[in-house]
Amino acid sequence: QVQLVESGGGLVQAGGSLRLSCAASGGTFSIYTMGWFRQAPGKEREFVSAISWSVGSTSYSDPVKGRFTISRDNAKKTVYLQMKSLKPEDTAVYYCAADPFGVGTPRPTEYDYWGRGTQVTVSS
């Protein structure tokens, strides 16, 4: 079983940048496809990005494509989400999740392990 801890959230002005990190412990990190999701108040949890366990292929939701970059460091057991050109609508709690041998699905129900989230607030 893997435990996930997100960090790097905070308050930033529109147009600014943040880098989120998700550190894993336990389990074998390299077999997990890692995903980032977010949930704004009153809204459902939505897919942001994923990076596969095998060849590191990446996928992004349309609202963040071209602005966010996901990466992973298997040696450090950490996945990152670099966020640029942030907009107020990016405000949410950001969660990382792990799916063993996953295909990078955007469906949150396919991910077995979740962190507790980190708050990102973008002011206008």
Share of the chain above pLDDT 70, in %: 100
Residues 6, 118: Cα–Cα separation, whole Å: 6
pLDDT tens-place string over residues 16-73: 999 999 999 988 999 999 999 999 999 999 999 999 998 899 999 999 999 999 999 9
Residues 5, 13: Cα–Cα separation, whole Å: 24
Q: Check if the beta carbon of residue 35 is closer than 8 Å to that of residue 99.
A: yes
**Does the pLDDT at position 119 exceed 90?**
yes
In the predicted model, what is the mean pLDDT of residues 98-112? 94
- Quick one: how far is CA 16 from the chain centroid? 18
In the predicted model, what is the mean pLDDT of residues 70-86? 97
pLDDT score at 27: 85
- DSSP bridge pairs for 19: 82
∠ CA(44), CA(47), CA(51), 5° rounding? Answer: 160
* Nearest CA-CA partner of 84 in 26, 19, 27: 19
